Structures are given as C-alpha cells and as structure tokens.
Structure 1
Amino acid sequence: MNTMWKSARWVLLPTLLLLQACGDDEGSKTYTVRFSPQVRQEALTCEGLYTDIGTSRSTIELLDFEMFVRDVTLVRANGERHPLKLEQDGTWQRDNIALLDFEDGTGTCRTGGTAATRREVVGSAPEHDDYTRLEFKVGLAPERNHLDYQVETAPLDNRDMWWGWQMGYKFVKLDVRTPANAAYVFHLGAVGCKGSVGEGYTCASDSQATIALDDFSPEKNQVVLDVAGLFSELDVNRVPNGTSDMMAGCMSNAGDPECPALYSQFGLAPDGSPKALPKTFFRVR
C-alpha cells in the first residue's frame, strides 16, 4: 500500500505543480496605458500650428517628440500597487522600459522623423476594477542609461535617443519650431557624467522623474502631455545670447535659464532632485 502511494504521489506531483503555475497567472489581465500629446485640448501633430504658447503668446510647430518611461504601476483604491509586466514586443518595450514616439514623419517632422509611432504602454497586472492611480518614471535607471546603443536590442538601440556628449540616453526629446527659433529644444537626461562602459559612470544628476497621477483608470483614462503647459512659463521666442544662454531651449544644464521651468513640469528641481509635480504638463483625461 505504501509503495502504491509513493507511485501515485510521483504521478500527481507534476499535475499539482502545473495547476499551481496556472493559479499564479489566474486573474491577470492585459492593460493599456495610453498617452495623448496635446496643446491644451487639441491633439499635437506634425501638421499643426499652435498659437498662444508661453509668456510671449507665440506659435509652435512640432519637429520631434519621444520619451522613455519605465516601472509603470497601477495602484488600487486601497493603496495596493501592481507594476505592469510589460509585453516584450521586440520593438517598443523591453523588460520594464517602454519607448513612446509621438511624431509620424509627416509635415514638420519629415526631417529625421519616422512613420512608426507609439502612444501606449501595454502589460499585464492582476484584474481589478478599482485602479485609481497611475505611477511611472520618466527615463532610464542609472544602471541602464550608459549602454552602447549600437549593440543593444530595441528600444535601446534607438540612435535618435542616444546622447553621445552625455554618454547616455535622452529620456525626453521634444523639439519644436517657433517664429524666432528654427529649433527650440528640450532634452532631458542625466548630466555631468564621467566614466566608461567597462568601469561604470557617475553623474552629477541622474534626473530621475517620478510621475504620479490620481483619478486614473486604465480602462477609462489617458495621460495627457500638454505642451502648452510645459512651455507656460517660458518665452519660446527667446533668442540665445551666446554666453549665459547658449541655445534655444534646454539640454539639461542647470545653468541654462530655461531649464528650471521645464524641469519643474517633471517634478524636478534644477539640480535634478524631486519636487512637487504641477498639473500642467502631465494630467489625466
């Protein structure tokens, strides 16, 4: 009898393990977190001319807009947090990282643009109907930032988002055209970096932005990226003076007079440390 039980146990064990594995995945659901680039209530596209921008109430036209996000997390009403297990699609998503691309290579985005776009992050989490908050980080973690894009797989093979002079990636690349500036740029990334791929890097600022948005349901809402809000405290027609202001816009230089206002919209102080996030660039629709 004892021998028979031992035999049956070895037969049942694989079945029980299989059932347990199925149980681990039971109740998960695929969620899509959508991002909507806008100018106030209007969609931001490569064909539009947008008015009443910034302190000079100027106009802008889009040239390029891409952004890395990571650690996308859904939060329930009771505070329970569930990081999305991202779909590994071989193009836009890898591990916990996703690349968003909002230009389509048409109109004013023809130079350097591509037809492919990506406006969402797709992944799985436990199925619940009371997700009320979204959290994510903008950019790459320090240990993933200083890779060689030439040998990396997508989306970290994106040359357009590689920032050679800072030895890392651009976390955000937003370029627009204004009446006074052929290119008014905002490139967010780690700065003051020293080191090598083999030995590692240290940076004066890792520029790690954490975005938290309340009243967000993945089934009903989108993340609005309002460029009018981003530029609300800046004169986009400001012409560089070649001394204290070397270029139109901001390339993550704390000494640039235009960087603090742009950093602020990502919940960052000029030195890259966290501060309160306003509801002008990132908001929920």
Structure 2
Amino acid sequence: MKKSHAWPGAGLTAVALSSLLVACGGGEDGPQAVEIQFAAVAGEQPIACNSTVRLGRANVEATLKDLRFYISNAALLRDDGSAVPITLAGNDSWNLTVGQDRVTLIDLENASGACPSATGTAATQAVLKGTVPAGRYTGVRMTLGVPFALNHSLWSDPASAKPPLDIQAMSWSWQGGRKFAKIEVTQPAGASPAWSASTFNFHLGSTGCQGNPATGTQVSSCNAPNRMEFTLSAFDPATQRVAVDLRALLAKADITANAGGALGCMSGGTDPECQLLFDAIGVDWKADGSGTGLPVNGGAGQVLFRAIGK
C-alpha cells in the first residue's frame, strides 16, 4: 500500500535522498509506520499464477505454480550500519511475534491458474508491516526463514504452531519444521517438447535435524540451518519494493529435468540441483553434504532479492 511521503530538499541527488530515508508515518518522537512491499518478477517482468515467462538455463517457457516464503527478524538500517528491529503489529494470519522472534509469511500465489487451489490460498500477502522508532534509515536487513525456536513444532498443533506457522503446505514433516520458501514453476499446458519432470521445485528449509516433534522428541539442532540472510543497503520503502526474482534464482538451472534426488532442490545435502540454487541465495552448500547451511559473507552474493521502484 503506497503512502505519500514528502522529502526535504527536492533537488537532492538520489544518493543524498537515500541517506535521509525516514520511515513513513508517526511523529518526531513516536513510532513510525513502515511497509515493505514484495513483488514477484522474472527479470523486469511481473509474474503471477497465470503468467508464462522464460526461465532457466535453456530459457524455456514456464508458469508459476507456488511462491510463498517466511521473512523473519526484519530490521531497518541506520547510516552507521546499526540495525533497528521492525516491530510487527499484533499476531494475525500473516504475522507472529514471540519474545524477540518475529516472522511474517509472504504469499504471492492466489490458488488460481497453475497455482493449485488444493494447496494454495486465494488470500495473498505482499507486505511486511510494522513500526520503528523515529529516525533516519538507509536500508533493510532480513532473514528468509523461520527462527529456530518457532520452526520445530507440528503445524497442526494449535498450542505450539500459531498462524502463520499452521499451514500444512508450508510444513516439512520429514524435517520437523517449515519450508522457509516454497518456490515452484511448471511446464505450461500444451508446451512442447515436454519436460522430463513437469514441475521444478525449490523448497528451502533446515536439514539434518536431530529430533522429531511428530514422535514427541523436540528438535535440538540441525546440521544445516539454511536460513538466508540478505541486506539491501540502499532501500527506501516509500518509493521501492523488494523484488523476488525467479529468473535470477533459476538462471543456471535446468528446470526441465531432474538430475537426481528430489524433483528440483528440496535442500537435500547431496541433491545435484541444489548447488546452483544455494549459490544464488548465498548459503553454503557442498555436493558432499558438508555444507554448513550458513550465509556466505552475510548473503552479499545473493541474487533472489533486489530493490525495484514502485
């Protein structure tokens, strides 16, 4: 939702304006509202469940099938690089705060077109909303994933899985946690030649976890956390959105075939499709299964998220 914002000094350069970023709303001393919008794109092209776009190493036609992900512990950045947490509004269908942990589900599918109604939802959520103290901010930092303390619970247990962690399609029972991201593309109807695997999946989540809430054993740790950190150092929520670029994510992948393991990449420690995708999100993954699952250089090399204009 776009808000009007008056900037001091209309003649300032873009660099100068970036250094004067102030969160929208609020007074001089009170909390100021901030809204961060997300947009699904393939390069410069907006995409949705009914879109056909060209993706992958072979630049083939593909259709979006699912695009949902959890963003946690979002913060705005001051000029000196310090992070100021975004306080989410009250808990609801899209947001959850427990102690210091804050998580929002971003849902860019609407259960229409190639996005199945059996697993998707007509309701969407493209905005992370909250407040920050009055101040001047230059960028944003976020984590793609669910905090450990909130991740490992049964999706169907209302005592421990509060919305938006209670969605079956985002649960990952065999890992005892959540799919941090559920990104799927499929071959358009009638397209030729047929893909050998009609859907390419990228499901991001923690792997190698010890314990299983389904059997009553709390998860104590995971060998590969696989939480993706990213920073947009020059970001103005009043004039920019966060693009989720599937063309960049899948640029080096053969989305028409399965080289082994799960269809696409489901974060398996030795799945041959995962190397290119983990490189694209800036998380350490190695083909011999020895990857740490930690961000590489703070996620500086990731290409999935970038700033674009509203």
Aligned partner letter, 1:275: V
Q: Distance in 2 between matches of 1:88 and 1:261?
A: 38
Task: Say whether the 8 Å CA contact 1:92–1:98 is kept in structure 2.
Answer: yes
2:33 aligned partner: 30
Q: Distance in 1 between matches of 2:217 and 2:270?
A: 28
Q: Percent identity?
A: 28
Q: CA deviation at 1:273?
A: 2.4
Q: Distance in 1 between matches of 2:91 and 2:178?
A: 21
Q: CA deviation at 1:182?
A: 2.0
Q: CA deviation at 1:204?
A: 1.7
The structure that has the greater radius of gyration is 1
Q: CA deviation at 1:174?
A: 0.6
> Aligned pair 1:247/2:262, yes or no?
yes
Q: Distance in 2 between matches of 1:208 and 1:108?
A: 28
Question: What are the within-5 Å matches in structure 2 for residues 88-237 of structure 1?
Answer: 88-95=90-97, 96-111=102-117, 112-128=119-135, 130-150=136-156, 151=158, 152-178=161-187, 179-180=194-195, 181-197=197-213, 199-201=217-219, 202-237=221-256
Task: Say whether the 8 Å CA contact 2:50–2:112 is kept in structure 1.
Answer: yes
Question: What are the within-5 Å matches in structure 2 for residues 50-89 of structure 1?
Answer: 50-51=53-54, 53-89=55-91
Task: Say whether the 8 Å CA contact 1:131–1:218 is kept in structure 2.
Answer: no
> Aligned pair 1:275/2:278, yes or no?
no
Query: Secondary structure in 2 aligned to 1:235?
Result: coil
Query: Secondary structure in 1 aligned to 2:150?
Result: helix
| Residues 168 and 279 (structure 1), Cα distance of their counterparts in 2 relative to 1, 3 Å cut | closer
**1:97-150 alpha-carbon deviations (Å, 9 max, x no partner):** 10010001111113422110001110000133x321110111112221111211
Q: Distance in 2 between matches of 1:266 and 1:144?
A: 22
Aligned partner letter, 1:280: V
Query: Secondary structure in 2 aligned to 1:263?
Result: helix
Q: Distance in 2 between matches of 1:185 and 1:158?
A: 18
Unaligned runs of 5+ in 1: 1-24
Query: Secondary structure in 2 aligned to 1:229?
Result: helix
Structure (1 or 2) with the greater helix fraction: 1
Query: Secondary structure in 2 aligned to 1:212?
Result: strand
Unaligned runs of 5+ in 2: 1-27, 188-193, 286-290
Q: Distance in 1 between matches of 2:147 and 2:85?
A: 16
Task: Say whether the 8 Å CA contact 2:71–2:145 is kept in structure 1.
Answer: yes
Task: Say whether the 8 Å CA contact 1:38–1:44 is kept in structure 2.
Answer: yes
Aligned partner letter, 2:146: L
Aligned partner letter, 1:83: P
Task: Say whether the 8 Å CA contact 1:85–1:123 is kept in structure 2.
Answer: yes
Q: Distance in 2 between matches of 1:120 and 1:97?
A: 12
**1:132-174 alpha-carbon deviations (Å, 9 max, x no partner):** 1110111112221111211222101111100011111100001
Alignment: residue pair count: 256
Structure 2 length as normaliser, TM-score?
Answer: 0.78
C-alpha RMSD of the superposition:
1.8
Which piece of structure 1 moves more, 228-237 or 80-89?
Answer: 80-89
1:9 aligned partner: none
Aligned partner letter, 1:227: L
2:272 aligned partner: 257
| Residues 199 and 239 (structure 1), Cα distance of their counterparts in 2 relative to 1, 3 Å cut | closer
Q: Distance in 1 between matches of 2:62 and 2:203?
A: 17
**1:41-67 alpha-carbon deviations (Å, 9 max, x no partner):** 11110111102x221121210111110
Aligned partner letter, 2:59: R
Q: Distance in 2 between matches of 1:247 and 1:191?
A: 14
Task: Say whether the 8 Å CA contact 2:154–2:176 is kept in structure 1.
Answer: no
